[in-house]
Structure 1
Amino acid sequence: MSTTDGTAVASAGGPAAGDGDGGPVLRLEAVRKTYGRGRTVVLRDVDLEVAPHTVTALIGASGSGKSTLLRCANLLEEIDDGAIFLDGEEITDPRADADAVRRRIGVVFQAYNLFPHMSVLDNITLAPRRVHGVARAEAEERARALLDRLGLGGRAGEYPDRLSGGQQQRVAIARALAGRPRLLLLDEITAALDPELVGEVLRVVRDLKEEGMTMVLATHEMGFAREVADQVCFLDGGVVLERGTPAEVFGAPRQARTRQFLQRITEAGRL
């Protein structure tokens, strides 16, 4: 893996010990999510499988359910019906340990969500030390290695407000990777960035794909989704209306609504 400054990057860490590659890392079965006492359906009977070492891109208009799907997969939102499985274990079972599940899933949001009063190093090491029980010295060693690999080797002692948006988002990615997750969820991670900073963050995601990191990303970057994804899911009104390879979804969409969405994206110069 290489960063924007050409720094060589080693593997970000593969599957956690004991995780097999025989089945999907993440599986959603008939997942339904509503808000407002069930009046607003946000996800409608969503089925999804994410194979190991693949990238699944969720595309669709704002409000189509992409972010909600990711939040449900990380148990940040409670589903109303259906089931979600991580490496074959039903994590939506009421008996499941939600904290243990979240320790195996890294999440990066469009807002960086870095603690402004903490240094970059402390932001990255907080969860490994407090949640995973990693000793401070080991956690800091991991964090410095990640920062080096993401082109931020000299920024460990900085505070977030001293960094550019692209640098802050790379710190957020480093924080998510510090726990050596089995699965990485990325929610519109370039949405808050100036256009000139988007490329440096997308390079990191591209490099993580080359390393074999299993990822699900919600994105409005259609060209990037077409390039990096193994599977593309088009959501509309909380339904996975169409899914397939990038060539299938972008090149020969079957559904009229998908064609309409992509035409508008193309006319806007974003594909």
Structure 2
Amino acid sequence: MNEVVLQLENVHKSFGGTEVLRGIDLTVHAHDVVALIGASGSGKSTLLRTVNLLERLDDGQIWLRGVDISTPTTKVDAVRARIGVVFQQFNLFPHLSVLDNVTIASRRVLGVNRTLAEQRAVELLDRVGLADKARDYPDRLSGGQQQRVAIVRAIATDPELLLLDEITSALDPMLVGEVLDLVRRLKADGTTIVMATHEMAFARDVADHVVFLDAGVIAEQGPPATMFTAPTTERAKEFLDRFLA
């Protein structure tokens, strides 16, 4: 069995009087793609934000490669340097070129020499067909190009784990495919990925493990072949029937 990269145990998170995560247990192995599916408000984004320590837990524990990162003494910046994150919105710095957007974390957080950081960035941009855009600014790019740059920025530091939060939801339907193709390539490269997505066909075809969240709990989980053909809970069946109709 592959090494466990991420483990959540009995994770709880509330906002005000609303409990958004209600006892999440999840294990993610190296090189696996785990797809989080479920209706809006089911807790997918909050779960990802707790893993990256953007939200502190109310209860439970999170381990990254066997180290508890949910303790109050955790050095948050050090943990985030090990995790790449891409959100729904591209969040590129508008005043920086594509090249500077991609290299800023390597240079400022990891202390990589600018020349080496830029060489790595250009190689990655070339792999996604954007090497010719390295000196452009984000406002000169299409939405799909901006999201591909955001993904390249997230992987430029060679993170141990990549979190993707509905990365196609802000894109024109014509641009979704090019971003999902990049995720397919990352999977082929062995990247460990946890992604929240509404792209059911993509989750079915690419994920190694599918997790259905419902009202803050994992109602059902399993391999795509099982989840998409024979879900065992009525809630999962209703949800998948709507998307796959």
Instruction: Give the TM-score normalised by the residue count of structure 1.
Output: 0.89
What is the match of residue 226 of structure 1?
Answer: 204
Q: Which amino acid aligns with 1:33?
A: K
What is the match of residue 135 of structure 2?
Answer: 157
Shift of 1:258: 0.5
Q: Which amino acid aligns with 2:194?
A: V
CA contact (8 A) 2:200 2:244 kept: no
Q: Which amino acid aligns with 2:234?
A: A
What is the match of residue 213 of structure 2?
Answer: 235
Shift of 1:153: 1.0
Once the two structures are superposed, the pairs formed by residues 30-69 of structure 1 within 5 Å of their partners are 30-36=10-16, 39-69=17-47
* Alignment RMSD (CA, Å): 0.9
Q: Which amino acid aligns with 1:218?
A: A
Query: Is the alpha carbon distance of 1:169 and 1:264 closer, same or farther for their aligned partners in structure 2, counting shifts above 3 Å?
Result: same
What is the match of residue 48 of structure 2?
Answer: 70
What is the match of residue 5 of structure 2?
Answer: 25
Structure 2 Cα separation of the partners of residues 130 and 266 of structure 1: 44
The runs of 4+ residues in structure 1 deviating greater than 4 Å are none
What percent of counterpart residues are identical? 63
What is the number of residues matched between the two proteins?
245
Residues 60-101 of structure 1 show CA distances to partners (whole Å, capped at 9, x for unaligned) of 000000000000000010010000000000000112211111
Residues 203-242 of structure 1 show CA distances to partners (whole Å, capped at 9, x for unaligned) of 0000110111000000000000000100000000000000
Q: Which amino acid aligns with 2:210?
A: V
Once the two structures are superposed, the pairs formed by residues 55-204 of structure 1 within 5 Å of their partners are 55-204=33-182
Structure 1 gaps of 5+ residues are 1-20
Shift of 1:22: 5.7
Q: Which amino acid aligns with 2:191?
A: M
Structure 2 Cα separation of the partners of residues 157 and 22 of structure 1: 40
Secondary structure of the residue that 1:181 maps to in structure 2?
coil
What is the match of residue 222 of structure 2?
Answer: 244
Secondary structure of the residue that 1:154 maps to in structure 2?
helix
Structure 2 gaps of 5+ residues are none
Structure 1 Cα separation of the partners of residues 199 and 224 of structure 2: 13
Shift of 1:264: 1.4
Secondary structure of the residue that 2:4 maps to in structure 1?
coil
Shift of 1:266: 2.2
CA contact (8 A) 1:106 1:177 kept: yes
Instruction: Give the TM-score normalised by the residue count of structure 2.
Output: 0.98
CA contact (8 A) 2:24 2:218 kept: yes
